[in-house]
Amino acid sequence: MNDHILGLLPDEIEKRLYTIGEKRFRKNQVLNWIYNNHEIDFYKMSTLSQSLREKLSTKFENFLPEIIKVDISRDGTKKFLLSLVDDNRIEMVLIPNKEKNTLCISSQVGCARNCGFCATASMGLIRNLEVYEILSQVFLAIKELKEKKLTNIVFMGMGEPLDNLKNVIKAVRILQDKQCFSFSSRRIIISTCGIIPKLKELADNGLKIKLAVSLNSAIQEKREQLMPVCKKYPLTELKNALLDFRKKTAFHITFEYVMIKDFNIGQEDTKALLKFLGDISCKLNVIKWNEVSSMPFKSPSEAEVAEFIHGMENSSFAVTYRKSRGWDINAACGQLAGNY
């Protein structure tokens, strides 16, 4: 199969055009059609010669995932079920909030990390997404929004992004390239469960990116119950890796904390959190667990949430209570499972 046009950086496209006898400036015309006019069908690029359009169609792939189903939440959130070229399915979620439009994208089909509160874990890992498959989600979302602007991208959909780090890094480079999607580094977040070797690789890569860490407990034994990755990469080692990461980035680290009733919102949990996060330049997002029928956990009440947050009112880091979006269509955090 030829290289997919969405999976290539501008200089890669230029080199391939040169090999088929085209002038280098043709690259700018092609990129303008794709990223400014949002047209990926080569034959509809009307300012290009017929011969060039035919060359493009034989040199590059340009198909997009098929949108199988769209679910719309009462809060306006949209969940898209996409079919890939090999008939595997992934989900992406588009979340509107006033002038902001955030896209939650997947990086894998399924996930190998088996977190106990996440529906994607039930799939296991099927495969990594290719660069073009990651970016196709962004391209489809932009076309869906039409005149509205896609403002934020979060790698918080299906999969563990750091387990597909090579493709995720290239996808982010294309997202940030001025000739491509031209997203600010402040508008892209990569979320991870804490794969320490990959965190170090990402830190040393020089990529400007915001990092979010799915923490969910600062007590080793509890985090192991929720997240088996913690057995291999314990909290003490994770913290050292994050302190090192923070030295190499201009951005605060965001910690995500899923609140589970009668499990991780007691006084001992608050105390452990304050100790773990106290010397890290960070912020903490707390969110109620979004119930999945096949799992034994329960969401806390609003009173229990308030008490948990109150226990951290004198913390050195900001604490934000993030309300779930799209929970009624199974589009909220931890609910994506590629169902159809």
Q: Show which residues are catalytic.
A: 91, 333
Q: Is 256 within 8 Å of 213 (Cβ atoms)? A: yes
Name the DSSP class of 60: -
Token pair listed for 191: 């979320």
Report how far apart the first and last C-alpha atoms of the chain are (Å, whole number): 28
144 vs 142: CA distance, rounded Å: 5
Where b means 16+ CB within 10 Å and e means fewer, 26-59 reads bbebbbebbbeeebbebeebeebeeebbebbeeb
- Planar angle of CA 37, 177, 125, nearest 5 degrees: 95
Q: Name the residue type at position 27.
A: K
Of 147, 150, 161, residue with least CA distance to 189: 161
Whether 234 and 261 have beta carbons less than 8 Å apart is answered as no
For the beta carbon of residue 147, count every other beta carbon within 10 angstroms: 4
Radius of gyration of the chain (CA): 21
